[in-house]
Amino acid sequence: KNEVEQSPQNLTAQEGEFITINCSYSVGISALHWLQQHPGGGIVSLFMLSSGKKKHGRLIATINIQEKHSSLHITASHPRDSAVYICAVSEETSGSRLTFGEGTQLTVNP
């Protein structure tokens, strides 16, 4: 079993829909990261959080430390949101080393 599990693996939505991607982890962490990867490979850090909730434009990330679970929400989705979304954790004992989930391929159709 992977230390970081994401669901779903693939997600197709219509423009304007509300989207949720989930991430569960099994290790003690110092922080959880949500990353976005577009075709071609470049990775962008969307959020880094260790508690509560963060919002950036149409993106919202939440984390429940007790349940070891995080969600990434996209409101009013747009075709330009199509990308792979990756959950990663910094383990308590590993400093800045990241352990990654397998990613969620999101496709938003116009």
Partner 1 sequence: KAGVTQTPRYLIKTRGQQVTLSCSPISGHRSVSWYQQTPGQGLQFLFEYFSETQRNKGNFPGRFSGRQFSNSRSEMNVSTLELGDSALYLCASSLPRWDFDNEQFFGPGTRLTVL
Q: Which residues bind partner 1 (CB under 8 A)?
A: 30-31, 33, 35, 40-45, 48, 50, 86, 88, 90, 94-103
User: Shortest Cβ distance from residue 77 to partner 1 (Å)?
Assistant: 23
Nearer to partner 1, 12 or 94 (CB): 94
> E strands, the chain, where?
4-7, 10-14, 19-25, 29-37, 43-49, 52-56, 59-64, 69-74, 83-91, 98-100, 104-109
Closest CA to 41 of 92, 109, 103: 103
Nearer to partner 1, 11 or 77 (CB): 11
User: Shortest Cβ distance from residue 79 to partner 1 (Å)?
Assistant: 22
User: Shortest Cβ distance from residue 40 to partner 1 (Å)?
Assistant: 8
- Alpha-carbon span 98 to 95, nearest angstrom: 8
Nearer to partner 1, 20 or 30 (CB): 30
